[in-house]
Amino acid sequence: MLCLQARRRCSRLFDRQEPVCFDLFMGTRSIGGMHTRGFALCLVCCALLAPIVPIRGNPIATHIFTADPEARVFNNRLYVYTSHDLPNATYWDMVDWRLLSTTDMVHWQDDGAVFSLKGFRWATKWAWAPDCVSANGKYYLFLPVDRTKIGVAIGSSPTGPFKDAIGMPLLDNKTMPEAGKEPIDPAVLVDDDGQSYLYFGCRNAKVVKLAPSLTELAGPIETVQLLDPQGKPIPVAAPDTNPVLPEGYGEAPFIFKRAGKYYFVYSNGWAPESTQVYATGNSPMGPFTYAGKVMEHADSVTQHGSVVEFRGKWYVFYHTSELSNGNAFRRSVCFDELTFASDGTINTVTPSSPAKAPAVAAPYALAAATRVGGSGGFDYVYADVAGRRLYIPRTAPAPRITVFNLDTLAPAGTIAGVNARGVAVDPLSHHGFASSKPVAMWNTDTLAMIKTIDVEGGPDGILFDPFNARVWVFSHRAPNATVIDAKSGSVVGTIDLGGAPEQAVTDGNGRIYVDIEDKDRIAVVDTTKLTVTAQFSLAGKGGGPAGLSYDARNRILFATCRDPATMVILSADDGKILTALPIGRGTDGALFNRASMEAFSSNGADGTLTVIKENSPTDFVVEQSVATMPGARTSTLDARTNRILLITAKFGPAPAPAPNEKWSRPPMLPDSFTILTVQR
């Protein structure tokens, strides 16, 4: 039972500079995945549960995945009620709902889990898009479950605690077939006259009046009538089919009132260009006439959000899959300011997260060469896109990890004494890892070292796999990979990959692919069982694969090879080679940008960046060879700005090789180390 109402200020805002408190409830309910019982335990738990999450713009939370934001203003504070995508989700099988809040749109507070499936004893699964409204001095959470029912939970504050208001669904399509096949995505309007309306539905929008208690329906369930600008009804999609643009209703209804007009916001489906659109009307029951897009397509398969006025400005909330690199089931809530034209129409918002690739193709160019200097060799460069940091490990004479501001490239810190090749970051736990021996683990907010982790072999490449929040540290000699739990930093296991691994990529769904450089193969690894399930041969189309990137949408691998110097493009499902295209010499890194559907190879020997465009899953062309600088062989993508960062230095003439060597390393010229920025 939810009993204790008392709350304490004992948490921390999501701001690196200002760690202060956030609200936690006491009682027996679940908060942040843990149960607290009573005051004393709560005080202990506060410190453990409160995430410190710095704000760096969108998304507003990076320590958990959040989706389906319904933004509401209560008592001069903005609350965002969200679904809670699971960190390794492969479906929308969420179990609880989260709350984030702010007073200034800059500092966000995690108010924890406000309700979970367990709170509805009649529900089994799928805690999807919530809404919350205030009436009668209470707060009412409307929650869809099982894809067939909507429940209502009641509380006396916006943060709860909430309890099941009626002990049964408010609406269930088994007993109410008129609710339609998928009564999901509830949104409630409490109109100025006190009458409340519940909107819901997937592929078919429904509306029903609520009784003053908000816990009973008070009229028939009706279909929301949508009209095109000529006044003709927009057809409802046939059951089990998706709406065809324009501007059929998909899901995610939301309604607000401005200057006496009702704005009915909805998602127009799941097409690549789908987005939140809106229709306006003079009555909350409709009809509503299509009026335009609220925003351009957000980077997500699903489009779901809300519009809210707060402190004199309007905002649209939405979610994107930016943080999970395009995973449809792991989304993050974002917002942008929204404005109205003088006739009341919405000026379509361009989502700021993530930056879109320019619509018109322009050639890439070396836009900046930022000389940062400093001693020491270098190998990989790594952009922590969510954390807005650029990591570059430097080796002897003073091994360290140098850290830069990803936006400005200004120095942002140093992690001293770490002799590493590469870096990987878990954006949820805010833990950074280096392929050093021992592996270094640090807090990405403070750059403070957490611990070192003993590993065998010679750490070289490194990959963070969000699927099960593990870090893979690769070594040319056995063991070829050491797998580390990113949260705890404990070693999960080691695995032999059958050769010398170079770059690796994750499909985000339980598989990683690894270049096996000395065998001209790509190893396919089951990341749960830690077994190699296949070895894809490059069949002579490329040799010495040193770079690997992945198109998650079409499940295509791009392996960049040194000899012959090609990009071998192959199916990630069965290893079938689709084509091989020429690249520059001396590749040591590959990238894929899903915003522009381009693959890149950074080639150190001839100082070029090869750009290959994926026109379709079977059509690939070399688009450009961008002059970078000799030595710029590894690269990283800032997926938020579509910039590519590379590193290099200037070298003097190589000394004569030692008698038993064919080759000698040229000396790096002092302070010549440079970060290159390539962009359109």
Could you list the active site residues? 68, 251
Report phi then psi at 40, rounded to 5: -60, -45
Strand partners, 415: 401
Which distant-in-sequence residues (6+ apart) come within 8 Å of 388 by Cβ? 56, 405, 406, 407
Mark residues 274-313: x for contact with ligand FUB by CB under 6 A, - for none.
----------------------------x-x---------
> Interaction with ligand FUB in 378-437: which residues (CB under 6 A)?
none
Counting every residue written for the chain, the total comes to 680
Mark residues 587-626: x for contact with ligand FUB by CB under 6 A, - for none.
----------------------------------------
Q: Is 492 exposed, middle or buried (0-12, 13-18, 19+ CB in 10 A)?
A: middle
Q: Does 251 bind ligand FUB (CB under 6 A)?
A: yes
Mark residues 116-155: x for contact with ligand FUB by CB under 6 A, - for none.
------------xx--------------------------
Mark residues 6-45: x for contact with ligand FUB by CB under 6 A, - for none.
----------------------------------------
Q: Does 320 bind ligand FUB (CB under 6 A)?
A: no
Is the CA virtual torsion 145, 148, 152, 158 positive or negative?
positive
Q: Is 613 exposed, middle or buried (0-12, 13-18, 19+ CB in 10 A)?
A: middle
Q: Does 67 bind ligand FUB (CB under 6 A)?
A: yes
How far is it, in rounded angstroms, from Cα 499 to Cα 225? Answer: 62
Least gap, CB of 128 to ligand FUB (angstroms): 4
How far is it, in rounded angstroms, from Cα 557 to Cα 567? Answer: 10
Distance from chain centroid for Cα 433: 19
Least gap, CB of 252 to ligand FUB (angstroms): 4
Nearer to ligand FUB, 270 or 651 (CB): 270
Strand partners, 275: none
Nearer to ligand FUB, 45 or 328 (CB): 328
Least gap, CB of 245 to ligand FUB (angstroms): 17
Least gap, CB of 296 to ligand FUB (angstroms): 17
Nearer to ligand FUB, 97 or 262 (CB): 97
Closest by CA to 255, choosing from 274, 233, 221, 280, is: 280
Q: Residue type at 321? A: S
Q: Does 92 bind ligand FUB (CB under 6 A)?
A: yes
Biggest CA pair distance of the chain: 93
Inter-residue contact 246 to 268 (CB < 8 Å) = yes
Nearer to ligand FUB, 251 or 598 (CB): 251
Least gap, CB of 64 to ligand FUB (angstroms): 14
Least gap, CB of 69 to ligand FUB (angstroms): 10
Mark residues 349-368: x for contact with ligand FUB by CB under 6 A, - for none.
--------------------
Which distant-in-sequence residues (6+ apart) come within 8 Å of 169 by Cβ? 120, 122, 123, 145, 149, 150, 151
> Interaction with ligand FUB in 547-566: which residues (CB under 6 A)?
none
How far is it, in rounded angstroms, from Cα 506 to Cα 367? Answer: 30
Nearer to ligand FUB, 45 or 198 (CB): 198
Distance from chain centroid for Cα 312: 29
Nearer to ligand FUB, 100 or 420 (CB): 100
Question: Quick check: bond before 287 cis, omega within 30?
Answer: yes
Least gap, CB of 591 to ligand FUB (angstroms): 29
Q: Does 568 bind ligand FUB (CB under 6 A)?
A: no
Pair of tokens at residue 647: 């590193």
Pair of tokens at residue 432: 């950074």
Nearer to ligand FUB, 304 or 633 (CB): 304
How far is it, in rounded angstroms, from Cα 281 to Cα 287? Answer: 6
Nearer to ligand FUB, 252 or 632 (CB): 252
Nearer to ligand FUB, 69 or 545 (CB): 69
CB crowding 173-199: b at 16 or more within 10 Å, else e: beebeebbebbbbbbbbbeeeeebbbb
What is the four-CA torsion angle of 136, 141, 146, 148, rounded to 10 degrees?
A: 40
Nearer to ligand FUB, 129 or 392 (CB): 129
Least gap, CB of 268 to ligand FUB (angstroms): 12
Size of the site for ligand FUB (CB under 6 A): 12
Closest by CA to 328, choosing from 594, 71, 559, is: 594
- Quickly list DSSP for 341-374: -TTS-EEPBPP-SSPPPPSS----EEEEEEE---
Nearer to ligand FUB, 148 or 587 (CB): 148
Least gap, CB of 529 to ligand FUB (angstroms): 29
Inter-residue contact 209 to 219 (CB < 8 Å) = yes
Inter-residue contact 234 to 205 (CB < 8 Å) = no
Which distant-in-sequence residues (6+ apart) come within 8 Å of 137 by Cβ? 156
Inter-residue contact 262 to 282 (CB < 8 Å) = yes
Strand partners, 336: 316
Least gap, CB of 99 to ligand FUB (angstroms): 16
> Interaction with ligand FUB in 231-250: which residues (CB under 6 A)?
none
Integer angstrom CA distances of residue 570 from 326, 488, 525, 621: 20, 35, 16, 14
Least gap, CB of 68 to ligand FUB (angstroms): 5
Mark residues 160-199: x for contact with ligand FUB by CB under 6 A, - for none.
------------------------xx--------------
Closest by CA to 196, choosing from 283, 284, 78, 306, is: 284
Pick from 12, 14, 68, 351: which binds ligand FUB (CB under 6 A)?
68
In the complex, the residues that contact ligand FUB under the rule CB under 6 A are 67-68, 83, 92, 128-129, 184-185, 251-252, 302, 304
